[in-house]
Structure 1
């Protein structure tokens, strides 16, 4: 570009962040955006209102064909994509609904990642190809009814019986639980916490959906019961020992949330902008009033600051330099700001903001769950507080 000639200002990309992407990144983003727009967007408001995700297995296979499942993993049918590319996929999926991004996140960043990182060669080859293709759905069972933010207190037990393991306990708030072919279950043993690969058709394993949710209504959320589930010794994840193992999986999943939450925020900002340009009060569009413009400007600033943060963290992850505290930084900031953007968009839409004719209230409600899962804001504040001060305020 000749000196002194500037590109036009783009309201959708005011900072020119797209300059940080290459052609492959943009093509992948466009593919996933088109799929989400054509396959999910026309139906998601109804699915959310009904509290169901019809044909979840069909959707999962389609996501597998896009390479969106376990996409940063190498081998076994996984795409081996960059962390930035995975983040872009999470953003585009959550721009339609958090439930769809949650399905992908739990499948790839939790269940598949745990098997890939901590599993045996037999476990990886036995499960990852079918999971990458979306033919098998996975879930990640850590949270219990009485132990959410404190997984070290889990009560689910795995006891040896001859050459077998026998698992007994309950897990709750498990995404994909009732549709899963396999569950990665974390349990307490006499030697500490360990992970197990549990086929869903194992006797004693059952899952039931959690109903009457006010958030993530289009997501399959379940309670798991393990009633004397007998597994061979080979079901244990060889490297899945200690609490560091499941927490490492959670850190991997949190990274996707850093991007995904901004997708919900982007949709709400776009909705508010369109509404402000067309909704007239006092004889002119409300976008012409100073207070409305101030809101829109603040929303855009926080959204695109969040995108810069997400991009920076993604490049650190690709370079092998991303620390868990930095993931907490991203999750804390981006989800909190995304929720604030959605709430502000709701005020611009006025009474229409609570109608499912618009996506704002749905995204706002969904982000209340995203704010909580994979570590509450308070937990990430304490993680950062400990890193900043060197003092442990947990407990």
Structure 2
């Protein structure tokens, strides 16, 4: 079937010949099988012409009406004013710039109105995008709070299981120093500090390991590993207790658990926040004994400094030991850094840790603000150090 319809014929506009431009379009027409078909649309000086392999339809320019609409106001509609049941539509916005339509002032109001309608779609879409970006941004800004809230709801059994896995892995990596009398002495000296931690539901278990690194760390659940290098380089019980206060704060602030949750992604975190923490069970079940998983962010380190300091003050142990330990650590790190620089080793990993000078300055400020007196610790550290180091 070939249908050609035209209700009037116009003379060429000023006899100007315009380049013919084709637009992909669809026609809705009662004579088309199925009521619609796709084809090609062009505008000449007489009519808007739709054509397909078996169908042609023309709308004289004198009867042409242009508008925008359809789903989401995404389409340009061309209709014959006397045949409203028939329409041609295209998603190609370039048709509004067609030279034939642009040259005829009668179409200017219709084209402007169509552009406004299309502009409302763009404005609406931009608004939706802005709202979505704002929501995503808000989620990321609130992420730390959501993670901290989720961590507080994690069952203690999950935390202990994670700590036990890590401890089992460490048992294969370190040589433990077995000496019950030294352990009892350490626990006795640190009892005021450990009581502060135990009040929050974390019993402290102590282990010494042979390792020259100046370090100690606490595992999820409260197991504390003290490396011999810390005892060897510390000058007093106050320094050692300062380190222990910091490390135990990682446990009570649930930094290990928050670190695990942080890794699951914002949408899982949001789902667990709005629902049940059981959504995170699989994450904890797969948590292995990788010591690298214990690495802490700058935020966590700063939190541990703050909370550890407060524990020491409440235990009436002079917290200045934490400052002097950082000063010792600074000297040790500077020596190591000089060695690494001389060997052209990449030091970018240091950017993940708070600057030691900044931490010392912050703690000295806290020291000036700290009120109250402190109990002297036993004058036994030198003897303890000698006994522990002789256990090699």
Q: What is the TM-score of this pair, normalised by structure 2?
A: 0.24
Larger radius of gyration: 2
Higher relative contact order (CA 8 A, sep 6+): 1
Q: What is the TM-score of this pair, normalised by structure 1?
A: 0.24
